[in-house]
Structures are given as C-alpha cells and as structure tokens.
Structure 1
Amino acid sequence: MSAKKLGAAPRQGALRGPLAWLGACALALGLAGCGGSAPSGAAGAAAGRDEGPVKIGALHPVSGANAVDGQQMRRGAEMAVEAINAAGGIKSLGGREVELLKGDTQGKAEVGQSEAQRLISEGVVGFTGTYQSAVSTNVAVVAERNRVPFVMDVTASDAIFANGYRYSFRVQPGSRAISTAAARYLKEVADKAGKPVRKVAILHEQTDFGTGAAEAFVEAAKGLGLPIGPNISYDALTTSDLTAQVTQVKASGANVLVAIGYYRDSLLAAKAINAVKPPLDAVWGVSNGAFDQPKFVTDAGALGERIFSTNYHFDAKNPRTTRLREEYQRRYGAPMRTGAVLAYDAVQVIAQAVERSGSTDPVRIREAVRASQVAPLTVGNGPITFAPNGDNTNAAPVLMQVQGGQVKQVHPPEKAESQPDYSVTWRP
C-alpha cells in the first residue's frame, strides 16, 4: 500500500473557521487541581519545557505498510494543534502556542521506543500514538520510566493496561470491549433477522492485537451460546493471499466469518471471500482495520457491500465531527479516517490537561489527564474520562456496515444512521 506524500501543515495560529470553533469549544473546561514533582534525571528536557511553544509529541507509522493510516493520524494531530493555537493557545500559560513534535515509528516496536525517547529528550509534555499495539507496548514502558503521559489514540491490546502503569491512557475502546460488543451485536442482529448463528469461523492476524481480539470474541460468543468453528491465524506482514484460509472456512460449514486484521490483509480477505464464495450470512469485522474505512469501499468496490464491522468510529451524528472531516477533505482531498479523529481527540486531551494544570511539568499534567472530562469527536457514551487503569470509561464500540458504497452506523439503535441489512445470504 503506497502512501501519499504528507503536505505541509498550515502556519500555526493562522487557521480560522471550523477548526478555530472546535478548539475554542474543546478548551472551554473548568480548572482541576493538580500536584506532583518533575521526573528525576530529566533536567535538560525540563528546561526545554519552560519557554517557547508547549511541545506535544505524535508517534505514528508514516512510512512502511501502515503509512496511509499513520499519515492520516499525524494530520489529525496537526489539525488539533492548529485549532488550539487558533483559539488562543494555552491560556493558563499566558497564551503559549502548542507545537507538535513528530516521530515515525515505521511500524516497528524498537523504532517507536527510540522515537519516544527522542521526543521526551526534546521536551514534550506528553505524546500520543501509535496505531499498532506492539509499538504502543514498548512506548508505554518509555513513558512510565520517564514519567511522561502517553495518551494512546489507536491501540487495541488490553495487555498494556494490566501492568499497573500510571502514565498510559487510551482514548479508543479496548480489544475486549470491542470484541464483547461484536459478539453481542452479532446475536442481536442475527436473531432479529430470523437467521440465528449456526457456527462462527474466525480469521485473524497473529500478533497480540489479532490474537487478543479473537480470544475475547470467543469468550463472549460462548457466553452467548454462539458455536465457534475454526480459529485461523495468519501473518499480516507476509501474507499475499488468504484463499487457503477462506477455503477452510467454507469447508467448516460456518455461516458467519469474523475477520480481525489490518487494512492490507483484510482487503485480501475480502478478495479471497469473493473467489471462494463460502455461503455466509455475514462477514463480521471485529476491530478490523479496513472494513469501516472509506478507502476500503473504494478499493473493494462491490466486494465490500454488506460487510459489517464492530469498531471505534468517528461520531457521524456529531456536527463538530462533520465540520472537522469536511475541513480535512477540503485540505487533503481524501476522507478523514477514524484514526485521524482519535488522534485529534488525544491531542485535545493532552492540551486540556496542560490548560487545567497551568504547568508544563509532565507529572502534574498526568494528574490532569487522569481527571479529564473531554468532549470527544468519536462515538462514546459521554466525555473522555479515564479509569484507574487508564482506559476511557465512556469509549463505545459501534456496528457499521457498507451500504450502497458508504460506511453506515447501524447498531445499537441510538447510534444508528440506518438499519443493518442481514436479509440475504452473503455471496459476493
């Protein structure tokens, strides 16, 4: 998957209109008392925080296999910074502007770790990232060791949040939350359509992300009485064809296929399903990196019609989100993906924590992040608020489906733009 060259960002503080409005709304929160001391052994970085722009870091894979998503997320973070500066910067620090320091993880855990250390040494007060759970796992260790808040925009794996870290937070719903909702939504939609689930086959990429999501789905599905068929894994980085795996699904007699993967491999799965034609009632994405993306609708064409996906998603019913995405489309000539909206939300979390703490001390900012009440532009059940383990307690998965060449929110009813189409056997 090739990446388009990232365009130059507009001058900070120059943006007006939709983003200025978004920034003003986002920073209109009350102050929260915070305390703490500066991290030890960080004198150089601390000195760099005392004057000039307030530095926030962004770590994403802007080269490598996931560069398109990484570039989208970097742009989302840049747009958040522009909105903050257009609205007057950090007012509790005398209107100091925010500067985004950027790192390229290349999709590699060890590179992400070194890039995180570099950003910290350059004086970031907090940073966001990273799109891939394996990379975020390493970055979280760096954040904890240096006592600098790490607000993850896209990171599905729950394992990070079982370590007792104090400086790791996550905006999106985690893998278990998404997988549990996916199983429940499957039963609800299938039963309502009068086409009960006979057997579920699972096709997933084999890293912590895919394996964890698959395990959580199986646990939730069994609790709902949904029979599980073959559980098939593959290497997302090296696979070039999933025909053999989908042939195994066809032979199993499963009438639902759960697909868990990144963009490139999930597109391969859609193509393999079209070639093999297993008689499925539904293709059911879980934390899937492709099925709810506008680019997938374009790349897959008719192959993508009626594929479902349970995932985090930009809030299609939020007027502020609509305006942000319109501005992104105008500027970059491409639809703004959910990952970019999550990156926007994550930068706002850090910036608002700086605003409330009135400090550039990462320890004090961490306390303010912990007390966040930030209005999200992604689907949720309320403001971004963090549990003791760092999870966003109001993050909410939503079921989507490709309908008529568009990704629509279809379930639960209070989040739906249209009704789920589960009416006929799914045959490409």
Structure 2
Amino acid sequence: MTHHLNRRSLLKASGALALASGLAAPSILRAQAATVKVGILEPLTGNLAYNGTQCVAGAKFAVEALNAAGGIKSMGGAQIELVVADAQSRPEVAAAAVDTLVEAGVCAFTGATASSLGLASTQAAAKYNLAQVVSIGTAEAMVERGLPNVFRFTPGVNKCTTVALDNLRLLNEGAGSPVKTAAIVHEDGPFGSGMAKILNERLPGIGIEVVETIQHPTPQRDFNNIALRVKASKADILIPSNYINEYTLMAKAIRQQRVELMAIYSILGGAASNIKFVRENNEVAQYVMDCNHWYDPQKPASVALAENVAKAGLDLTYDVMVAYASVQVIADALERSASDDREKMIEALAASTFDGSIMPYGPTKFVNGDNVNSQPVNTQIRGEKIELVFPKEYATAEAVFPMPKEG
C-alpha cells in the first residue's frame, strides 16, 4: 500500500477523516489499527529524480514482501502503508517535506539519495523526534551532529574510501604496481568534497601520487574541459565521485577526448554500478570499477527482488537495493517495539541487531547513529553485466586490472 502526499491532498484527506470520525469512529479505529505508516523521502523530480524513483521502487518491493509475509506480527499483522514524499532534489524542500510526513502520521522514514538532502531532512526530523533510516547519505556530518533520530544504515564516505583504497592497493600490487598517479574528479557538495579531501590525504600512502583534483557543480552539462585537464595531467588512473548524470557525461568526454588511462576506479560513482549506464553507454562503460553499495546476490530475498525488478521492467540498481533493505530495518524495529510510537521506534532502532537484510552486512549495530557493520563492495562492468569482484565471498567474477588497452 502506497500513498503519495502533498499538502493539498493531505488537508483534503484530513477534512474527510474529521467528518467521517463523527459518523463511524469504531470503523476508523479498526482501519487505523490495521496499518502502520512508514515514510520514504526521495527526490522524485529534479536532477536526482532517477535515483529517487529507483529508491521508492525498492521500498515498495520491500513493503509488498513484508505485507505478503504477514505484516508486523507483534502488532496483530498490521500492514505497512508506505507514504511517499518528494524532496525535489533540493535540501530546503527535503526539510519541508518532513512536516508533511509527520502530518501523515509516519512512525519513521527512510531516504534521501544525496547527503545534502539527508542532512536537511534529518535535522528537520529531529525536532519531531522522528527516526530517519538514512539509506544513501555518505557525508560523515550525517552522524557527527549527535542527533538521536539518525540511523545511517549504509557505509559512509570514510569506510567506503578506506575499503576502496585497500582494494586498489591489492589490485595494483597484484598487477606489479603499474599505477603511480591519479586524477580526482568530484562533485562540489559535501559528498564529493569530503571524498576528495580523504583521497588526497591517503593515496600517497599506497604509492599513488595525486596529480590533479577537479571539482564541478551538480548539475554540470559539459565535461570536455575537465577531460582535457585529466588528459594533460597524464594520470594513470581516474577516480571520480559524482552523481549519475554527471558521471555519464564525464565518462563520454573522457572517451571523446581520447584520454589514456589504466583504469577508471570509482568510489561511490553515480553511474559506475548502474545498469542504465551499462545499457546506454556500453563501450564507454567497459571495465569501469566501483566501490559502492550493493546487495548480497546469493540471498534468497535478493534473488526474489531481482526477479520482481525484472518483471516490473525496472533497473536493478543499488538505489533499489538499499531502499529495500532500509525498509526491512524499519520493519524489524516495528516488530520488536510492537508499536508505531516515535520514541519507541528510536529506541528499537538504536538497539537493532537485525541480520536479515539483503545487504552483505553483519548484524546491524548503530554506534552514534552509524551502522558499524555495514560494508561496501567492489563491482566491475563486464559486457552487459555488473560483476562483484570484492570481497571474495560475494564475488561473481575476477577483477580485470589494469583494463585492457583498446585496439
């Protein structure tokens, strides 16, 4: 069950409910007891609309699976009702949309694709004591402000960067250490800027010198000058961190400008683990590697999700996966608290040891709002597929590094 909300429809619905309550209160009480409202706040319009729409799809699949399995059993089999709000790819709208979710009566919510949106929504939700399970929001500020309502389920920029660099070192050493220099291209928001800072600090420690760092806004329409700067740097490897539209344009420009690279090694690359990018830009995408969010493809629930996504004609992206898993975490908290009370939901999430999600994680453990048992994986585009190459226990293919030279 899914409801899309805006303020006008909410006011109309509230008026109708008030009128009905005077006539048939017992039936309304029964209807309320039969459902529990969970929110999802995502950018459904604006430059991040593709990612946000994918996240909502993932949340819907999770709700359908949970409801089909009997709903929240500790609450008498209550069915989850998903309440969807549009962040419009703008932080100020994301903050305002929290008010709408509160008025709709959600017990917790998930979202919101980008760190800038998540920073705004978590702050807005704090004044209502409303829990947000952050599905995608890697900026460390997300969990450094001491907000008790914030629960970041997926790994942040520090962990993703640490894992990515450890794996890059292993790959490079295994190939005889051909990569000596790197160029960094990043979006200029909290996500990309934080990543670039860490990379500049840590890459020399694994024997790779940073010879160029280039930032750009989101959206950015032309990457030709950026590609030329990368080419002039003579970097062996390009490490990009940006969103899907910019990543795609960047990769095309790199190819058009004939920039010679040993590898494109992304960290939280917006398109590098995205099947849409693979499908629409197949030649450009080959051998691109990424360290990013991804599910465990061996779990039965993951297999079922992949089948449902295919049947729906949608792309199987990490957005779908993490939104699905975030709803699973909220449902587990509901099951344990046996209540949709906001305070009890925060308490239940803070004590979470959930180990049934589709992600390749250990049991959930939130420390200062950060799930310390989350982990990213490395993927690589091969042919028309996205293969897992690290960690080995989840791998579906061996990594190819450096990428083969064309011709």
TM-score (norm 2): 0.89
Q: Aligned partners of 1:363, 1:48: CA distance in 2, in Å?
A: 23
From 47, 69, 84, the counterpart of 1:87: 69
Q: Aligned partners of 2:392, 2:43: CA distance in 1, in Å?
A: 35
Q: CA deviation at 1:371?
A: 1.4
Quote the residue 1:21 is aligned against. none
Segment drifting more, 254-263 vs 242-251: 242-251
1:349/1:412 Cα in 2 relative to 1: closer, same or farther (>3 Å)? closer
Quote the residue 2:383 is aligned against. 404
Q: Aligned partners of 2:402, 2:115: CA distance in 1, in Å?
A: 35
Quote the residue 2:49 is aligned against. 67
Q: Aligned partners of 2:115, 2:137: CA distance in 1, in Å?
A: 5
Q: Match of 1:246, SS?
A: helix
Q: Does 2:283 match 1:299?
A: no
Q: Aligned partners of 2:30, 2:84: CA distance in 1, in Å?
A: 16
Contact 1:179 1:214 in 2 (8 A): no
Structure with larger RCO (C-alpha < 8 A, sep 6+): 1
Contact 1:180 1:217 in 2 (8 A): no
Quote the residue 1:266 is aligned against. 247
Q: CA deviation at 1:310?
A: 0.8
From 375, 382, 390, the counterpart of 2:369: 390
1:190-219 Cα shifts (integer Å, max 9, x gaps): 110124321111001111111112222222
Using the aligned pairs only, state the percent identity: 32
Q: Aligned partners of 1:272, 1:283: CA distance in 2, in Å?
A: 13
Quote the residue 2:82 is aligned against. 100
Report the residue type matching 1:393 in the other structure: V
1:203/1:426 Cα in 2 relative to 1: closer, same or farther (>3 Å)? farther
Q: Aligned partners of 2:396, 2:155: CA distance in 1, in Å?
A: 21
1:135/1:73 Cα in 2 relative to 1: closer, same or farther (>3 Å)? same
Contact 2:328 2:357 in 1 (8 A): no
Quote the residue 2:395 is aligned against. 416
Q: Aligned partners of 1:250, 1:195: CA distance in 2, in Å?
A: 21
Report the residue type matching 2:248 in the other structure: L
Quote the residue 2:224 is aligned against. 243
Report the residue type matching 1:287 in the other structure: L
Q: CA deviation at 1:348?
A: 1.4
Spell out the pairing of 1:150-161 with structure 2 (5 A cutoff): 150-161=132-143
Q: Match of 1:146, SS?
A: coil
Q: Does 2:292 match 1:311?
A: yes
Q: Match of 2:371, SS?
A: coil
Report the residue type matching 1:280 in the other structure: L
Contact 1:318 1:377 in 2 (8 A): no
Contact 2:134 2:153 in 1 (8 A): yes
Contact 1:280 1:425 in 2 (8 A): no
1:361-396 Cα shifts (integer Å, max 9, x gaps): 111111111111223545434122212x11111111
Quote the residue 1:182 is aligned against. 164
Q: Aligned partners of 1:376, 1:220: CA distance in 2, in Å?
A: 34
Q: Aligned partners of 1:251, 1:62: CA distance in 2, in Å?
A: 38
1:103-147 Cα shifts (integer Å, max 9, x gaps): 010111111111111101221100000001101101111221111
Quote the residue 1:33 is aligned against. none
Q: Does 2:215 match 1:233?
A: yes
Q: Aligned partners of 2:251, 2:263: CA distance in 1, in Å?
A: 12
1:270/1:376 Cα in 2 relative to 1: closer, same or farther (>3 Å)? farther
Superposition RMSD in Å:
2.1
Segment drifting more, 283-292 vs 77-86: 77-86
Q: Match of 1:335, SS?
A: coil
Report the residue type matching 2:265 in the other structure: W
Q: How many residues are aligned here?
A: 382
- Structure 1: any 5+ residue segments left out of the alignment? 1-7, 11-46
- Structure 2: any 5+ residue segments left out of the alignment? 4-28
Q: CA deviation at 1:423?
A: 4.3
Q: Aligned partners of 2:190, 2:285: CA distance in 1, in Å?
A: 26
From 305, 315, 324, the counterpart of 1:335: 315
Q: CA deviation at 1:95?
A: 1.7
Q: Does 2:91 match 1:109?
A: yes
1:256-306 Cα shifts (integer Å, max 9, x gaps): 000110000000111011111222110111111101111110111111101
Contact 1:246 1:276 in 2 (8 A): yes
From 304, 309, 326, the counterpart of 1:323: 304
1:74/1:425 Cα in 2 relative to 1: closer, same or farther (>3 Å)? same
Q: Aligned partners of 1:154, 1:376: CA distance in 2, in Å?
A: 19
Report the residue type matching 2:93 in the other structure: V
Report the residue type matching 1:134 in the other structure: S
Q: Aligned partners of 1:122, 1:360: CA distance in 2, in Å?
A: 13
Spell out the pairing of 1:271-286 with structure 2 (5 A cutoff): 271-286=252-267
